[in-house]
A and B are shown apart, each in its own frame.
Chain A
């Protein structure tokens, strides 16, 4: 087996391969491919990225305490999805990622998607929601040092994450409707989704503004007290 001495580099590669390389390669491949097959490729990539992540998580020995905290946060996100108009899921995912790392963030985001869809309806979009929310948490974990230092940066990240989530889900909407990607349809989908996009961005900023500090203190306390 290939051995990389530097631990952080090793961790980075372990995440970067399934979550960044696979999507990028496939999108590049999809552009060259027959345009009618985009939907197969995109769904396959989303599912395989999630499977790779699950396999990595399965092999690693994660402490029981850490796993339970992830379950607690996922349950809180699930409950938050019932709030009308405002969606605290991404904000809570980001907060978890800031204090417990990118992997925990990815787990909370993706598990919330699959959990809450028991209530809101499962569908082929579940895989995309899992990936989108998971990546929001994962990148927040990567940028944790900077985001913890500057509150403005954190709020900007929240707004950007809301926009990115909506844009990713609209790509899926177009692929599903049209099987291949179509710029005109994508723009139309973006325009019709403006209220949702705005609600995602606004609720991310609002909840990060309100919750980041108190939630952070609670998570930090648990970390210090129990060494999670």
Chain B
């Protein structure tokens, strides 16, 4: 029994790209609503009620995006009112709301994605694709805090030598650029030393290993297969135009047939998968603890 974020990164990434891919490449309002609600739910289940500022930003952006379209695009039959000699239409407004729901939904998904896919997991994914690039990435990640510490040291040394600012902005800028310049020279030299020492220890002579081992367990395979099956049904429904909508010149929403309905249901199930897993884990934890 694992939390959703503890599953193999490949499986988690496939799930994320399935969910966001359907949301991005389709404009059927019901799917957009499912994606947006699911994304907000997923984010709040993981983070509780914190991150208030992010929520605020997302919903302000939602309003801006939803209102931008009717102000720019004047297609559509149903005129609501006329502004600056330009008609504002119901169709354009709904189109804007639909697009905004898609974008905000995907933004929420990727917030959760960034939280779950730590750099270590992403290095595991890129390592499968290109070990060399993954190495460069992981080294750069390590350099960032290293450079921070080194700047601090250089700064202290400069201060000890008497080269510190005295409420003079020009001196301040000069001092900072001196520290930066020293830091860059050191960083490049240090890089060469690192490279030589890597080569001396046999870098590039064998397969590289990962810091953490992500195995493929039975649960991973089940989750992967279920994800791909649900994605397949949804993609079939979207691809065969069972779920299509035209906004212009007037809204023409196709009543979904059996394939369409099963597409909607499987997209809903796809989005609920991690929530089901997390709830199961929580229940099991509670149940087992009460019998101890």
* Chain B contact residues: helix, strand, loop or mixed: helix
- Interface positions of A from 164 to 185, Cβ below 8 Å from B: 176-179, 182, 184-185
A182 and chain B: residue at smallest CB distance: B73
Shortest B243–chain A CB gap in Å is 13
A10-18, A64-72, A148-156: which lies at the interface = A64-72
- Interface positions of B from 89 to 143, Cβ below 8 Å from A: 99, 103, 106-107, 110-111, 113-114, 117, 119, 122, 129-133, 135-137, 139-141, 143
- Interface positions of B from 19 to 34, Cβ below 8 Å from A: 20, 24-25, 27
- In the assembly, what is the distance between CA of A209 and CA of B114, in Å? 35
For B129, list chain A residues within 8 Å (CB). 51, 54
For B147, list chain A residues within 8 Å (CB). 75-76, 79
For A51, list chain B residues within 8 Å (CB). 129
Shortest A80–chain B CB gap in Å is 10
A1-9, A107-115, A137-145: which lies at the interface = A107-115
Shortest A5–chain B CB gap in Å is 28
Q: Would you call B292 an interface residue if the criterion is a C-beta within 8 Å of the partner chain's C-beta atoms?
A: no
For B24, list chain A residues within 8 Å (CB). 39, 43, 124, 176
Q: Would you call B257 an interface residue if the criterion is a C-beta within 8 Å of the partner chain's C-beta atoms?
A: no
A111-B137 contact in complex given A58-B130, A76-B147, A121-B111, C-beta closer than 8 Å: yes
* CB < 8 Å neighbour of A64 from B119, B181, B199: B199
Which residues of A come within 8 Å of B, CB atoms?
36, 39-40, 43, 51, 54-55, 57-58, 62-65, 67-72, 74-76, 78-79, 107, 111, 114-115, 117-118, 121-124, 176-179, 182, 184-185, 188, 214-215, 218-219, 222, 226, 228
Which residues of B come within 8 Å of A, CB atoms?
20, 24-25, 27, 65, 68-69, 72-73, 99, 103, 106-107, 110-111, 113-114, 117, 119, 122, 129-133, 135-137, 139-141, 143-144, 147-148, 181, 184-185, 187-192, 194-196, 198-199, 203-204
